[in-house]
Amino acid sequence: VLRGGKTVLEGRPATDFTDGELVEYMVGRAVPNLPAERPTIPSTTPALKLTGLRVPGDGGRAGVVDLDLEIAQGEIVGVAGVAGSGQRELTDAVVGAREWTAGSIVIAGAAIGAADPRQAIAAGASGVPEDPVGDWVVPGLSVLEHLALAQLKLHQAAPSDTWLHKPKGLDWPGARRTARKLDEAADLRMAGVERVVATLSGGNIQRVLLTQVLGSRARLYVLSYPNRGLDVASTRQVQQLILAKRESGAGILLVSEDLDELMAMSDRIAVLHAGHLAGIVKARDTTRAELGHLMLSGEAVAA
């Protein structure tokens, strides 16, 4: 086992370790297990309701075809499927980043009328895109400036405060205080606020983005591969943050390539196959093999 460029363990048979013990050697501390029991959250208005949603795909792919899906308040719905099954088209449409040609999107009771991220944000959506570097990073801007972009209304300065730091019209001391609060709330070891985001590693970019999203409050979280580039301990911290959002009553749409993670985190799992909804299963009532079969064939395993 290597940690911090040094060998911390060698020469012992693999059968000597549990998963938890091996992880502790890797990260230098114990990583807590996810809670086995989770409270049921009373739900009235769905956090997300999709009806007959049709989203064109890139490069001639099917995208999303006539999708009906509902996420309750306080529910995590995972999305499984082989790559290119419509995951990106689905998440982009929900957060207003992609046009759809049919159907409706309703976030916390508010209908989204067009592909407009401002409408999705106003309704209470917040998201982690599939490609943070291409879709979220603004070249040349610092960590603080990225966080401030997400809080523009909060940090617009009064006319008498336009002497504050560049660009004018923003309350930068207030933005720094908010960044500190977000960092403390997420506890993901975010890079310093003066660092230029585009110069960070993929994992550190992910930490800044996750701090922005999971350190804030929303009615619906749309999370595409949130743990890409993260170590084991950071991954578990992100999972705990997501579960805390669930417990607070938010709805979560979680896209992941890791079936084990989907089964551990989700209340229900929606399986996409060639742009179609192949089925929705309860995470605790299905096996990894059954989920994989549904992903590959689009058909449920016969009873």
Average pLDDT over residues 98-120: 93
Question: What is d(CA 286, CA 149) in angstroms, rounded to the nearest whole number?
Answer: 41
At 276 the pLDDT is: 94
Tens of pLDDT, residues 248-287: 999 999 999 999 999 999 999 999 999 999 999 999 999 9
Contact present, 53 and 65 (Cβ < 8 Å): no
At 150 the pLDDT is: 78
Q: Shortest CA distance to 151 belongs to which of 121, 184, 109, 108? A: 121
Question: What is d(CA 295, CA 82) in angstroms, rounded to the nearest whole number?
Answer: 6
At 153 the pLDDT is: 57
State the pTM of this model. Answer: 0.88
At 38 the pLDDT is: 87
pLDDT above 60 for 163: no
**pLDDT higher for 167 or 42?**
42
Residue 6 structure tokens: 């040094």
Average pLDDT over residues 18-45: 87
Residue 182 structure tokens: 């977000």
Range in 37-51, 73-87, 161-175, 177-191 with the lowest mean pLDDT: 161-175
